[in-house]
């Protein structure tokens, strides 16, 4: 797999010009990261760590003050390539209401395609396929504002899928959803990655969501501090807690058992693995 998204020594600051003198808040502090085509990467970090800012750099919403960001082979500083980047690197935000623009679901999904000048027959094909992919085809003639939060977010994702991007950045897409809505959206994300080969970058506060990824990147104070497979990342319980993050509940349970002297792995991240480990533990006893 080739490098698909890449940040090299990237620095980025937000400037508040309302103050005199202007207040500069540096959020990314020389960050380096590479993401390969087809990967499913979860990015974790507490509020203000820089994770959302980094995602917006990959989509060319933010341009670095220093360093370089590459997306689908293009430098985001190249103004002539911005459209290419955004057609291939779609972004889904936390609040689906901010991305829904039409009064009918299928019209909303078609909105970006119409602006891109795609032929009507091709628009029809892409809209239908995108809605089927996210399980919302039967709602194609419904009003978006009458849908549940999870359904709205899936429609927002369908709007990105219809553009046929190679990568989708999702900035806490389940933060405003109930557990059912979160499951619906996560199922859709995993399907896009596993079956369609779409590169996924998921920014989340939910450790159980991150545990589903191929790789977890932890960002703190504008720097990458951990970058590994989920089992290795979450086994570092004390380090995660030191930067204000949790680990999956099953991992923390195993960690506590390990501290109490029980022979159990701290690299357990799923409920099934935990049940099996506990069964073996009690069976020995």
Splitting the chain (285 residues) into consecutive groups of 10 residues, what average pLDDT does each group show? 83 89 91 95 93 93 95 93 91 88 93 90 94 92 92 92 91 87 88 92 92 95 95 95 92 92 90 89 71
What integer pLDDT is reported at residue 2 of this predicted model? 61
Buried b (16+ CB within 10 A) or exposed e, 258-270: eeeeeebebebbb
Structural domains in the chain, CATH included, are 37-64+72-229 (3.40.50.300)
What integer pLDDT is reported at residue 285 of this predicted model? 53
Q: Is the dihedral of CA 225, 231, 234, 238 positive or negative?
A: negative
Distance CA 200, CA 169 (A): 6
What integer pLDDT is reported at residue 234 of this predicted model? 95
What integer pLDDT is reported at residue 18 of this predicted model? 84
Q: Whole-structure pTM over 0.85, yes or no? A: yes
Main-chain phi, psi angles of 178, to 5 degrees: -80, 170
Q: What is the pLDDT of residues 197-246, one digit of tens each?
A: 999 999 998 999 999 999 999 999 999 999 999 999 999 999 999 999 99
DSSP bridge pairs for 92:
170
Sheet of 223-228, strand order: 89-92, 167-171, 199-203, 40-44, 215-220, 223-228
Is residue 170 within 8 A of residue 201, CB to CB? The reply is yes
Is residue 57 within 8 A of residue 69, CB to CB? The reply is yes
> Residue 143 in 3-state DSSP?
coil
Q: What is the pLDDT of residues 62-72, one digit of tens each?
A: 999 999 999 99
DSSP bridge pairs for 70:
6, 75
> Residue 268 in 3-state DSSP?
coil
Distance CA 232, CA 217 (A): 11
Is residue 10 within 8 A of residue 34, CB to CB? The reply is no
3-state helix, strand, coil in the chain (%, to 5): 45, 25, 35
For residue 91, the 8-state DSSP code is: E
């Amino acid at each position: 797999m080739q490098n698909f998204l890449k940040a090299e020594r990237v620095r980025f600051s937000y400037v508040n010009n309302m103050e005199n003198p202007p207040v500069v808040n540096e959020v990314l502090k020389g960050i380096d990261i590479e993401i390969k085509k087809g990967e499913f990467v979860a990015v974790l970090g507490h509020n203000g760590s820089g994770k959302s800012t980094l995602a917006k750099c990959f989509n060319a919403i933010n341009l670095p003050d220093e360093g370089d960001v590459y997306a689908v082979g293009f430098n985001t500083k190249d103004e002539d390539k911005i459209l290419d980047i955004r057609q291939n690197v779609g972004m889904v935000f936390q609040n689906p209401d901010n991305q829904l623009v039409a009064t009918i679901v299928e019209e909303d999904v078609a909105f970006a395609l119409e602006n891109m000048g795609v032929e009507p027959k091709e628009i029809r094909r892409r809209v239908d396929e995108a809605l089927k992919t996210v399980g919302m085809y039967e709602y194609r003639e419904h009003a978006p504002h009458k849908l549940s939060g999870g359904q709205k977010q899936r429609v927002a994702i369908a709007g990105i899928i219809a553009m046929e991007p190679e990568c989708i950045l999702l900035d806490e897409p389940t933060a405003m959803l109930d557990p059912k809505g979160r499951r619906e959206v996560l199922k859709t994300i995993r399907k896009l990655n596993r079956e369609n080969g779409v590169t996924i970058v998921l920014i989340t506060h939910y450790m159980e969501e991150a545990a589903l990824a191929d790789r977890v990147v932890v960002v703190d104070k504008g720097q990458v501090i951990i970058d590994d497979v989920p089992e290795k990342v979450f086994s570092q319980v004390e380090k995660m807690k030191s930067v204000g993050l949790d680990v999956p509940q099953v991992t923390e349970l195993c960690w506590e058992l390990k501290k109490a002297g029980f022979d159990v792995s701290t690299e357990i991240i799923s409920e099934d693995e935990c049940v099996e480990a506990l069964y073996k533990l009690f069976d020995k006893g």
